[in-house]
């Protein structure tokens, strides 16, 4: 990656709605991250401590230098996040690429929230692990063909033992997002980074955002994915920031 990666997402929502989703804590909880005991503290740290904002210009500075800019794009809103260069926060440089990937996930979850689930509370399941010696995640999930389809294409797949249908939501270098009808029109974001010089153990991640599932259905989904995931992508010795739960 370059020293200042840029992530751009166009959201089919008015700019005022997107701005509120970035500045109101109750709304941020609908899309940022995933369910952890520390989610509220994380939201407060990123969006409401050491931040800069210009509400009129619709710009927001967070994470000690990351810049978010909203711009009208017809009836939609273009959201551009530009990372601060490496070295601005040296204590976080070891996680620089992970944070960039995290922003890709979060902005796509923001888009999903505003376009598909603006009023419904979500419940998430989260899985993270290492990839050394493991099969690539997309292939292991049977999504190799799905990952090549254009955004907006319909798909059907068996995911951790469950038949799931939906559409391709987004695709990036390391991530794939799929809507999931079976989860109350939910969203699956999966990421896979093979072992390399900067990340010898590699990394795999799945965020399942569900809507309207009762306790039993949510527990069954979470347990089934945990049983599928754990032997394939074991937890890292030192969890990445935000993945400890």
pTM across the whole model = 0.93
Q: What per-residue confidence (pLDDT) applies to 240?
A: 53
Q: What per-residue confidence (pLDDT) applies to 76?
A: 98
Identify the CATH class of 123-229.
alpha beta
Question: CA geometry: angle at 157 spanning 153 and 159, to 5°?
Answer: 130
C-alpha to C-alpha distance for 51 and 65, rounded to whole angstroms = 9
Identify the CATH class of 6-116.
alpha beta
Angle between helices 96-116 and 15-23 (to 10 degrees): 130
Q: What per-residue confidence (pLDDT) applies to 245?
A: 41
Q: What per-residue confidence (pLDDT) applies to 1?
A: 42
More confident residue, 98 or 237: 98
Considering the chain, tell me which residue range(s) the CATH 3.30.530.20 domain(s) occupy.
Answer: 6-116, 123-229
C-alpha to C-alpha distance for 233 and 129, rounded to whole angstroms = 5
The pLDDT tens digits for 12-57 are 999 999 999 999 999 999 999 999 999 999 999 999 998 999 999 9
C-alpha to C-alpha distance for 20 and 11, rounded to whole angstroms = 13
Alpha helices (runs of H) in the chain, residue ranges in sequence order: 15-23, 25-28, 39-48, 96-116, 137-140, 215-229
User: Mean pLDDT, the chain, as a whole number?
Assistant: 92
pLDDT confidence band for 201 (50 / 70 / 90): confident
């Amino acid at each position: 990656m370059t020293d200042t990666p840029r992530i751009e997402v166009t959201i089919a929502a008015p700019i005022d709605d997107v701005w509120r989703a970035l500045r109101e804590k109750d709304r941020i909880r609908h899309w940022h991250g995933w369910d952890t005991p520390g989610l509220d503290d994380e939201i407060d740290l990123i969006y409401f401590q050491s931040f800069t904002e210009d509400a009129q210009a619709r710009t927001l500075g967070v994470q000690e230098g990351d810049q978010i800019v909203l711009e009208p794009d017809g009836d939609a809103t273009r959201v551009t996040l530009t990372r601060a260069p490496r070295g601005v926060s040296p204590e976080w440089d070891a996680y620089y690429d992970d944070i960039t990937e995290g922003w890709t996930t979060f902005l796509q979850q923001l888009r999903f929230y505003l376009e598909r689930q603006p009023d419904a509370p979500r419940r998430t399941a989260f899985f993270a692990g290492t990839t050394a010696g493991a099969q690539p995640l997309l292939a292991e999930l049977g999504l190799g063909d799905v990952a090549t389809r254009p955004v907006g294409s319909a798909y059907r797949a068996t995911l951790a033992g469950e038949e799931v249908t939906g559409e391709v939501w987004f695709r990036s270098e390391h991530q794939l997002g799929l809507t999931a009808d079976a989860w109350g029109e939910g969203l699956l974001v999966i990421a896979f980074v093979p072992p390399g010089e900067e990340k010898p153990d590699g990394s795999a991640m799945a965020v399942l955002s569900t809507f309207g599932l009762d306790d039993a259905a949510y527990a069954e989904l979470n347990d089934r994915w945990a049983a599928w995931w754990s032997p394939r992508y074991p937890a890292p010795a030192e969890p990445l920031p935000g993945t400890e739960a």
